């Protein structure tokens, strides 16, 4: 059994309030949150989920992006890998997904909407519907 308690000013973003309290965690899951009369200087709040990011724009691989994002409170992201797909196609997307699996940081990857972005672009790769089917099956 892995038990943990956290005490502090709990930020309830759903109900837009802050209250002193204790969070009881068992085996990695919150079991209970109890308001108390403590005087705390620390704040406990939910992690941030970045709902649209192009990890490759950071010039980092996903595992390094995750390492740096978590220290700022980001716990997950939804990534659009269209930039690497424009250059490397399926190979680039597979690299990003496989590298992301090396970290507990949650990264959900979407399919790039169109590669190349326009018909006249010559970035390096072209993805077709069959490529997307292949990605979906892996």
1 pLDDT band (50/70/90 cuts)? Answer: low
Question: Does residue 126 carry a pLDDT above 70?
Answer: yes
Q: Where does 48-137 sit in CATH, by number? A: 3.20.20.140
E strand or H helix at 106: strand 106-109
Task: Give the model's pLDDT for residue 23.
Answer: 97
Q: What percent of the chain has pLDDT over 90?
A: 72
For all residues of the chain together, what is the average pLDDT? 91
Strands 106-109 and 29-35: unpaired
Percent pLDDT > 70 in the chain is: 99
pLDDT tens by residue, 34-77: 999 999 999 999 999 999 999 999 999 999 999 999 999 999 99
Domain locations in the chain as residue ranges: 3-38, 48-137
Axis crossing angle, helix 82-100 with helix 62-70, rounded to the nearest 10: 80
> pLDDT per residue over 67-90, tens digit each?
999 999 999 999 999 999 989 989
Asked whether the bond before 116 is cis by omega within 30 degrees of 0, the reply is: yes
For residue 111, what pLDDT is reported?
86
Model confidence, pTM = 0.76
């Amino acid at each position: 059994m892995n038990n943990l308690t956290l005490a502090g000013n709990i930020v309830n973003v759903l109900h837009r309030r802050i209250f002193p309290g204790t969070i009881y965690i068992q085996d990695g899951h919150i079991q209970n949150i109890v308001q108390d009369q403590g005087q705390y200087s620390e704040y406990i709040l939910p992690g941030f989920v970045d709902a649209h990011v192009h990890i490759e724009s950071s010039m980092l691989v996903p595992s390094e992006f995750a390492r740096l994002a978590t220290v700022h409170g980001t716990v997950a992201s939804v990534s659009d890998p269209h930039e690497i797909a424009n250059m490397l196609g399926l190979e680039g997307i597979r690299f990003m997904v496989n590298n992301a699996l090396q970290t507990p940081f949650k990264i959900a990857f979407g399919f790039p909407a169109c590669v190349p972005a326009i018909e006249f672009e010559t970035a390096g790769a072209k993805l077709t519907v069959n490529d997307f089917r292949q990605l979906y099956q892996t």
